[in-house]
């Protein structure tokens, strides 16, 4: 399927590893120029150079923390000076949590609210004007199955990802008249380096069968009995970026191997 994305420009937050990096690869393979964002400059610049060489697209980077208000201004300025604005924004940066509601302090709620919700709010304010000038665009949010079906150990993650889905719906209604389509993807279990690192840590004292640990997680939660690869999730993002998804507006698309236990 020809996706007709060649020559477009995209901002991807959390684009240096995991799902964000796979989305970057997927869009670059379609000829999309990229502005990748993450905090760690070294890994970010390495991946940017690799993608640029592999796909012949332009890739620039902004090493900043999207939870900080000033980052949206930095990213918007770079998008303007490099590409004259962008056509695509992927709000992907995020991370899991571990707490109880009774014990977590306000500061922890503030951290996740800024990372998962306010980063998307501020980047929309910054980048939508450029999309309008360019005749339209696409904004995608990477939330999680946990936005609908919470995991018990991470209430702050569950709540802030649910808020991100509702933000996405509201933004979709506000900008659809400007030919900007806004949607959310809710992945289930996705095998990223972080899952492997945690599995190795958890099994270090008991024989080191980290693959067995991950299989047990998949067996418990996902009827498909395996994790998704980052590429399997990225494929959905790439499709939603294209005009082939032109009637998709304000929706949340699940890709969870059957993990969601409702219809």
Q: b/e for 1-32, b at 16 or more Cβ within 10 A?
A: eebebeebbbbbbbbbbbbbbbbbbbbbbbeb
The verdict on 17 binding ligand NDP (CB under 6 A) reads: yes
Stretch that binds ligand NDP, among 18-26, 50-58, 122-130, 243-251 (CB under 6 A): 18-26
Q: What share of the chain is helix, strand, coil (3-state, %, to 5)?
A: 50, 15, 30
3, 86, 180, 190: which one contacts ligand NDP (CB under 6 A)?
190
Under the binding rule (CB under 6 A), the answer on residue 200 touching ligand NDP is: no
- Our CB check for ligand NDP shows the closer of 111 and 239 to be 111
* Nearer residue to ligand NDP within complex by CB, 14 or 155: 14
Closer CB to ligand NDP, residue 33 or residue 71? 71
Q: Which of 175, 189, 214, 236 binds ligand NDP (CB under 6 A)?
A: 189
Q: Determine contact, residues 180/128, Cβ cutoff 8 Å.
A: yes
Classify the phi-psi angles of 251: left when phi > 0, otherwise alpha if psi is within -120 to 50, otherwise beta.
Answer: beta
Does 95 participate in binding ligand NDP (rule CB under 6 A)?
A: yes
Give how far the C-alpha of residue 175 lies from the chain's centroid of Cα atoms, to the nearest Å. Answer: 20
Listed ranges 1-9, 15-23, 148-156, 243-251: which one lies at the site for ligand NDP (CB under 6 A): 15-23
Verify binding: residue 194, ligand NDP, rule CB under 6 A. yes
Strands in 20-125 per DSSP E: 33-38, 59-63, 88-91
Task: Kindly state whether residue 137 participates in binding ligand NDP, applying the rule CB under 6 A.
Answer: no
Q: Is 112 a catalytic residue?
A: no
Nearest to 194 by CA among 98, 118, 115: 98
In this chain, which stretch among 60-68, 80-88, 200-208, 217-225 interacts with ligand NDP, using CB under 6 A?
60-68
Contact 258, 224 (CB under 8 A): yes
Q: Which stretch binds ligand NDP (CB under 6 A): 51-59, 62-70, 130-138, 244-252?
A: 62-70
Choice between 118 and 245, CB closer to ligand NDP = 118
What is the phi/psi pair of residue 223, to 5°? -55, -25
Q: Closest CB to ligand NDP among 165 and 248? A: 165
Measuring CA to CA, which residue among 187, 183, 189 is closest to residue 145? 187
Give the footprint of ligand NDP on this chain (CB under 6 A): 13-20, 37-40, 65-67, 92-95, 115, 142, 144, 187, 189-190, 192-194
**What residues are labeled active site?**
157
């Amino acid at each position: 399927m020809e996706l007709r994305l060649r020559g477009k420009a995209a901002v991807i937050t959390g684009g240096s590893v995991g799902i964000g990096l796979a989305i970057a690869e997927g869009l670059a393979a379609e000829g999309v120029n990229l502005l990748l964002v993450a905090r760690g400059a070294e890994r970010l610049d390495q991946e940017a150079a690799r993608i640029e060489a592999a796909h012949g697209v332009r890739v620039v980077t902004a090493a900043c923390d999207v939870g900080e208000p000033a980052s949206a201004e930095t990213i918007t300025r770079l998008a303007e000076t490099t590409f004259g604005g962008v056509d695509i924004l992927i709000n992907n940066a995020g991370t899991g949590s571990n707490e109880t509601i009774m014990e977590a302090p306000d500061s922890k709620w503030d951290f996740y609210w800024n990372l998962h919700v306010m980063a998307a709010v501020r980047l929309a304010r910054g980048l939508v004007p450029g999309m309008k000038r360019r005749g339209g665009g696409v904004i995608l949010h990477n939330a999680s199955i946990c936005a609908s079906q919470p995991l018990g150990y991470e209430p702050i993650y569950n709540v802030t990802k649910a808020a991100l889905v509702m933000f996405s719906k509201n933004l979709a209604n506000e900008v659809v008249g400007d030919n900007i389509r806004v949607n959310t993807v809710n992945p289930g279990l996705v095998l990223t380096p972080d899952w492997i690192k945690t599995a190795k840590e958890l099994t270090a004292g008991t024989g080191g069968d980290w693959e067995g640990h991950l299989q047990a997680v998949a067996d418990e939660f996902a009827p498909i009995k395996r994790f998704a690869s980052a590429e399997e999730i990225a494929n959905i993002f790439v499709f939603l970026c294209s005009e082939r998804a032109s009637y998709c507006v304000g929706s949340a698309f699940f890709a969870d191997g059957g993990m969601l236990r409702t219809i």
